[in-house]
A and B are shown apart, each in its own frame.
Chain A
Amino acid sequence: GAVVSQHPSRVICKSGTSVKIECRSLDFQATTMFWYRQFPKKSLMLMATSNEGSKATYEQGVEKDKFLINHASLTLSTLTVTSAHPEDSSFYICSARDISGRPSYEQYFGPGTRLTVT
């Protein structure tokens, strides 16, 4: 099946620094990728929709200047957490939709990135 990777899998950073997380579709092309965050014992919360070659669409309440998203190619989207603070510590997960997939728009999820801000 389709594979989505994320890098890094875990990252620890100091408060005030920025962290970049990569999401790659390894064996398919994705015009659209999605970014989620998940707190312990909670469900996934959609943060934004990343569109190749255009600006990302952010969900209500998500600061676009804090969570910068770039979707420069059909296989790569990046999420940069700028000026990270301890409350940004979370599990970040991306997903990608295969442009050649069935009309049912099946999405494939990455393994997630655990961010810890100290």
Chain B
Amino acid sequence: LAKTTQPISMDSYEGQEVNITCSHNNIATNDYITWYQQFPSQGPRFIIQGYKTKVTNEVASLFIPADRKSSTLSLPRVSLSDTAVYYCLVLLNQGGKLIFGQGTELSVKP
């Protein structure tokens, strides 16, 4: 099982770009990298998913190097409402199980 490692916490200020890097050294060939956001007492919310290179949607970008052993979630111009826990997950190909790591608690300050 691919295990992920990410910083426990990060601080930022409104308007800044935030980059959260995740390590997944044992990622398998068919695995996808997925990021979720969770607010207190709510279910996780899908942010972005990718396999290689770069993926961008309306809320974030995901950068994946060629070896795929890490990935970086980039949040442009964060606001206070982006304060949450961000989880990096590797989607196991054999059934879609999501195994959550510890996540990164992002705190955005005014």
Contact = CB atoms under 8 A, between A and B. Distances in A.
Interface of A: 4, 6, 32, 34, 36, 43-46, 49, 91, 93, 95, 97, 104-112, 114
B43 A107 contact: no
Interface residues of B, number: 22
A107 B87 contact: no
A10 B49 CA distance: 31
B98 A34 contact: yes
B96 interface: yes
Contacts of A112: 41-43
Main secondary structure of the interface of A (DSSP, over half): strand
B45 interface: yes
B99 interface: yes
Given A43-B87, A106-B34, A109-B45, 12 more contacts: A32-B95, A34-B97, A43-B103, A46-B97, A49-B97, A95-B43, A104-B32, A104-B49, A109-B44, A110-B43, A112-B42, A112-B43
B42 A111 contact: yes
Main secondary structure of the interface of B (DSSP, over half): loop
B98 A46 contact: yes
B27 interface: no
Interface of B: 32, 34, 36, 41-46, 49, 51, 87, 91, 95-103
Contacts of A97: 96
B64 to A, nearest CB: 13
B87 A105 contact: no
Contact of B95 (A36, A49, A109): A49
Contacts of B103: 43
B91 A105 contact: yes
